[in-house]
Amino acid sequence: MDTGKNRAENRPSAKSGDYLWDRSGEPDPEIQQLESLLGKFRHDSPTPVSPPLVPERRWTFFPWRLRLFPALTPAAVAVAAIVVVTFLGYRAKPTPTTLAGWGVSEVQGAPRIWPMPRRTVSRGSAFRRTIPAKSRWTRAHACAC
Amino acid sequence: MARSGDRNDLLAAGLGPEPVREQFASEISEDVTWVAAAQDGDREAFGQLYEHYARMVHGVLLARVPVGEVDDLVQDVFMRALRRLSTLRDAGSFGAWVAAIARNVANDYHRRSVPEEPLTDDASDQEIQCGTSCADQDELAVAILEAVMSLSETYRETLILRLVEGMTGPEIAARTGMTHGSVRVNLHRGMEQLRAKLIASPSRMGPEQEKA
């Protein structure tokens, strides 16, 4: 690194200083000879054909993929809505009747299945409990009938 | 290398201040336009930048790598610059930026290759005794280039830009981003050292210089 030492020796002389600096003033034969000899190493290649320039994307806060987000949002919402409606629709449907066989045991009195006696109760019959008879209706078992 | 950090020394030495890039201000503003256009994909603008800076890049590389490798590496430098052009924030400093790329490319070259005949500073102590065989101008030119290469890196880049590439001092300052004072110091001190080496082995400068 250059320092301020030996400043005087670095001051350009009146003769060669300007020529070395900007080729002004009286030409220095020594420098001219160096120029002519070393000039053979000078860059003289023609400008190459540069490849097509594809400008790189500038940095943005959102990467380009996130730019698709607004466009995809309605589609995503629609799909989600369809899924939810379908799910809820299935849930709301009455489950297939899997009537269990009902066992009726007499607790007190004579319970009747209106208007039939208990023994004649069949699937799908309406029944009414008669007061003051008491009965316990228990679900015997589930069946897929 | 004497750069802007040496401004105080240069001021003390009476070599500054000089308005940096004054003479080449219009060229720099053109560069800004070309850089902006190249960043937008304009091939022709990048070609203009190449024409403007190829000599400087060539000189920077020549100061560091063997002559035979320089042309290929110049292409590498500009390809690298092309790929990274979008990262250049200050278009006005394209020259300093591409010079830094060139220095990095030269360093990469040395990192990945084993030099067959390394040029070291030890060469500065050796006298190249070419005698009559240096009558051939090409050999003489090679011998002088070797003498330049034996100088410290501080001076040889500036000296090569001036003597080989034919750039003037202000041009070197404008292209590389160095201050005028730094370039002037490097030129004169480098020239002093080169003269000393050529005097030490007078056959390098040919018969006319020997007589002188």
CB A133 within 8 A of CB A110: yes
In whole angstroms, give the CA distance from residue B41 to residue B200. 53
In a domain, B9, yes or no: no
ipTM of predicted assembly, 2 dp: 0.73
Chain A residues whose C-beta sits inside 8 Å of any chain B C-beta? 1-4, 7, 9-12, 17, 20-23, 29-31, 33-35, 37-43, 45, 47-48, 50-58
Task: Output A4 or A31, whichever has higher pLDDT.
Answer: A31
Q: Are residues B59 and B103 in the same domain?
A: yes
Mutate to test the interface with A, among B3, B7, B15 (most CBs of A within 10 A): B15
- Residue ranges making up the domain that contains B82: 23-118
Cβ distance A41 to B141 less than 8 Å, yes or no, reads yes
B54 touches chain A (CB under 8 A): yes
Cβ distance A48 to B75 less than 8 Å, yes or no, reads yes
Task: Output A51 or B34, whichever has higher pLDDT.
Answer: B34
Q: Are residues B165 and B131 in the same domain?
A: yes
CB B182 within 8 A of CB B1: yes
Span B37-83, pLDDT tens digits: 988 888 889 999 999 999 999 999 999 999 999 999 999 999 999 88
Q: Are residues B131 and B114 in the same domain?
A: no
Q: Which residues contact B206 (CB under 8 A, 6 or more apart)?
A: A33, B134, B135, B140
In a domain, B16, yes or no: no
Q: Are residues B104 and B128 in the same domain?
A: no
Tell me how far CA of residue A99 lies from CA of A123, A125, A129, in angstroms.
8, 12, 19
Q: Are residues B175 and B103 in the same domain?
A: no
The structural domain count of chain B equals 2
In whole angstroms, give the CA distance from residue B55 to residue B78. 12
Span A56-65, pLDDT tens digits: 555 555 555 6
Q: How confident is the model at residue B95 (pLDDT cuts 50, 70, 90)?
A: very high
CB B126 within 8 A of CB B151: no
Give me Rg for the CA atoms of chain B.
Answer: 18
